[in-house]
Amino acid sequence: MLKAGIDIGFGDVKAVFSDNRKIKFPTAIVRDPGGAFNVSTGKEEGFHNYNGSNYYVGKTALHMGQTYSTRSMEFMENFTPLLVHVALEKAGFINSEVKHLSIGLQLGKSNAVGKAFLLKKIEEGVVDGKKLGFEHVEVIPQGVGILLDSRFNWQGQELVGAGINTLVVDIGFNTVDVLVAIDGQPKKGRSEMLERSGISWICERLIARVKERTGSGLTEQQAKNALLNGYVEMYGKKIDLGLDIKEISNGYAEWLHSELRSRWEEQMAQFPRIILAGGGAHIVKPYMPHYMQNIITPAEPEFANARGFFKWLQVQKKAA
Ligand SMILES: Nc1ncnc2c1ncn2[C@@H]1O[C@H](COP(=O)(O)OP(=O)(O)OP(=O)(O)O)[C@@H](O)[C@H]1O
Ligand SMILES: [Mg+2]
């Protein structure tokens, strides 16, 4: 039985599958301009019909001008079936092969209404003339995926000693989600989503630096790539941004640490485990204070939510 755990972030879609396949692509969608500009054969990479309209999805969409604002939660919900379809396709599956799906929901929308809305979207969405056709769909709050990832192995067995007090910090592109778990159980009332506090904080400042130095602007997407590569190319010349990135990342880590301390000081000091995950963990971890020996970062932290969603399907299989 093939299963999928999919985490749709503001920056990237991350997906893991039961046969150990995993994929990641940018959360970018652009509507096909159509009309006189329509030279599409309908067979281009990333081209899909979704609920009656044509779109480009993923990397192809990034180079096509105005993408939809991926900052809005409505965007994410409305296009979830399309992004799920593309994730399966990119991993080489056809829809009907993967029967069980486990997918994330924004912390801020994690209530019965938000869950029912997303389930309905997934059930009704039509991509390239077909419904997705899952037999079973689980909806799990983002951040809880990271907690589940830390509690269970790939087969869904509980790890010894993992049900402890834990603070989960999911550092994404747009948001930082903070989740408090007592004895391994998530506590909703004490969890929070910090908007515009993710890696976009660094990108904004990097864009300003590049503007100062070169007079040219960068898009957010270009800044995201510059952060990853350590340089930008302008007029055919590489401009090294290593020192700027280091300084801004250090400033971000200090800012985030003080934000977290002002709200979760007790947990940060007294909990035996703080899990830093989300792709931002790669960037922030080196700058966290050395005395905080309770901080851990899982391997490939950007996939931690998706892995946890998947593992939850495995746990349920065991319970059945
Ligand atoms: N392997 C990596 N190495 C270095 N940096 C990375 C890596 N993966 C991700 N990042 C950085 O971490 C950022 C956040 O990644 P992540 O996939 O967690 O964001 P997201 O889930 O799309 O966003 P959000 O959680 O806000 O919806 C990326 O935009 C990128 O800058
Ligand atoms: Mg995320």
Judge whether 301 and 281 are in contact, CB under 8 Å.
Answer: yes
Write down the pLDDT at residue 184.
96
Write down the pLDDT at residue 319.
72
Ligand 1 pocket test target in 70, 77, 177, 282 with most atoms within 8 Å of CB: 282
How many other CB atoms are found less than 10 A from the CB of residue 318? Answer: 11
105 lines ligand 1 (CB under 6 A): no
Write down the pLDDT at residue 65.
63
Ligand 1 pocket test target in 12, 206, 252 with most atoms within 8 Å of CB: 12
Instruction: Please report the beta strands in the chain, taking only residues with DSSP state E, as ranges in sequence order.
Output: 2-8, 12-17, 22-26, 29-31, 47-50, 53-57, 98-105, 126-127, 130-131, 136-141, 166-171, 176-182, 185-194, 231-234, 237-240, 273-277, 295-296
User: Can you tell me the distance from the alpha carbon of 97 to that of 114, in angstroms, rounded to the nearest whole number?
Assistant: 27
Q: What is the mean pLDDT of each run of 10 residues along the chain (320 residues)?
A: 94 95 92 64 79 90 66 81 96 86 88 92 96 95 97 97 97 96 92 92 96 90 93 93 97 96 95 98 94 96 98 88
User: Can you tell me the distance from the alpha carbon of 307 to that of 18, in angstroms, rounded to the nearest whole number?
Assistant: 10
Write down the pLDDT at residue 108.
78
Write down the pLDDT at residue 116.
94
Distance 299 CA to ligand 1 centre (A): 14
Write down the pLDDT at residue 43.
62
Write down the pLDDT at residue 153.
97
- Nearest protein Cα to ligand 1, atom 31: 224
Write down the pLDDT at residue 35.
58
Judge whether 37 and 134 are in contact, CB under 8 Å.
Answer: no
3-state secondary structure of 241: coil
What is the DSSP pairing of strand 29-31 with strand 53-57? antiparallel
| Residues paired with 36 in a beta bridge | none
| Residues paired with 273 in a beta bridge | 166
- In order of their start, the domains of the chain are 2-141 (3.30.420.40), 193-296 (3.30.420.40)
